Amino acid sequence: MTATGRERDLGQEMASALRYASAWRGKRVVIKYGGRAMAGDEFGSLIEDVVLLRSAGLRPMLVHGGGAEISRTLGLMGIEPRFVDGLRVTDEATMRVVEMVLGGSVNKRLVGMIQRAGGRAVGLTGKDGDLLRVRPHARSDELGFVGEIEKVDTSLLDQLTTSGYVPVIGSLGVGPGGETYNINADTAAAALAAEVSAEKLLLLTDVRGISDNGRFRSRLTPAQAEGLIDSGVVSAGMVPKVRACLSALEAGVASAHILAAGEPHGLLVELFTEGGIGTMIRETATSPDAVAPRPPARETIEKTATRE
């Protein structure tokens, strides 16, 4: 039987994906999942994708937040969530809830889901093994127990990934006196990606990526990304994500990506196809195509469009 045109195209796509997967064997990727993307209990294909990455020989690490569940739990306890410039005000009572959610309910739910999907996972926070040492935030008088990362010790992560485990890391850190501090999860993911010399940092969110006045930006250089922040095109909650990407790139991570968590197998598409599905930031020249509207995600998957 002669293969149809669609079957030949599918074969070419599969061959391309397998070549990418082979080239990535043993590489480290840091995936951040949190914010609005994980506001519900549905995780889409994320868990399956993480397990597939590990089985393909990559070393994924999953960093998570849990802001929606923290706020919901605070509300149930009669504590009003408060924010200053997008950062959660974290007094002692709030910190207890943050640790309960990030180190407990959300973290263990993700670990359980990975293991039910056939993977092996270990739940951690930045407190475990002195993974994330922090100092009080410069605005600690206003923010309370919010930390800025000072030192990263990845020796525990190295042991886990070498042994075939997926580390699942809640964004908490340990202070100079052993206190627990809340950390922005994007910042934590960028610091970990830099310290483990990850090939890629992937920030999963509730939007497709970065758009500039209606034009989807599939690829940006760091300078272009900075320009979009300065011009106000990148604003609000997208600013810390782009800043985290730029920080990781400056520390030697090859590329950073912002993509929609809800797109079926979007994580695999972004990693293993030339077209990708989100916005990639890296230090390369940008072609005119990079500022043109990209096709819908599903069409991008089917056609495996090329980033140029």
The answer to whether 41 is a known catalytic residue is no
41: confidence class by pLDDT, cuts 50, 70, 90? low
Q: What percent of the chain has pLDDT over 90?
A: 60
Predicted pLDDT at 220: 93
Q: Annotated catalytic residue: which of 34, 65, 67, 276?
A: 67
Q: Annotated catalytic residue: which of 35, 66, 126, 170?
A: 35
pLDDT tens across 214-232, in order? 889 999 999 999 999 988 8
pLDDT tens across 239-251, in order? 889 999 999 999 9
Q: Annotated catalytic residue: which of 34, 103, 147, 186?
A: 186
Q: Annotated catalytic residue: which of 65, 173, 200, 241?
A: 241
109: confidence class by pLDDT, cuts 50, 70, 90? very high
Predicted pLDDT at 297: 38
pLDDT at 96 over 90: yes
Q: Annotated catalytic residue: which of 32, 44, 103, 170?
A: 32
Whether 256 contacts 281, CB under 8 Å: yes
Integer CA distances (angstroms), 52 to 14, 119, 120, in order: 15, 8, 11
- Angle, nearest 10°, between helix axes 46-55 and 106-116? 60
301: confidence class by pLDDT, cuts 50, 70, 90? very low
Pick the CATH number of 24-303 from 3.40.1160.10, 3.40.50.300, 3.30.1330.10, 3.30.565.10: 3.40.1160.10
Predicted pLDDT at 121: 97
pLDDT tens across 46-59, in order? 999 999 999 989 99
The answer to whether 151 is a known catalytic residue is no
Tell me the domain boundaries of the chain: 24-303
The answer to whether 35 is a known catalytic residue is yes
The answer to whether 32 is a known catalytic residue is yes
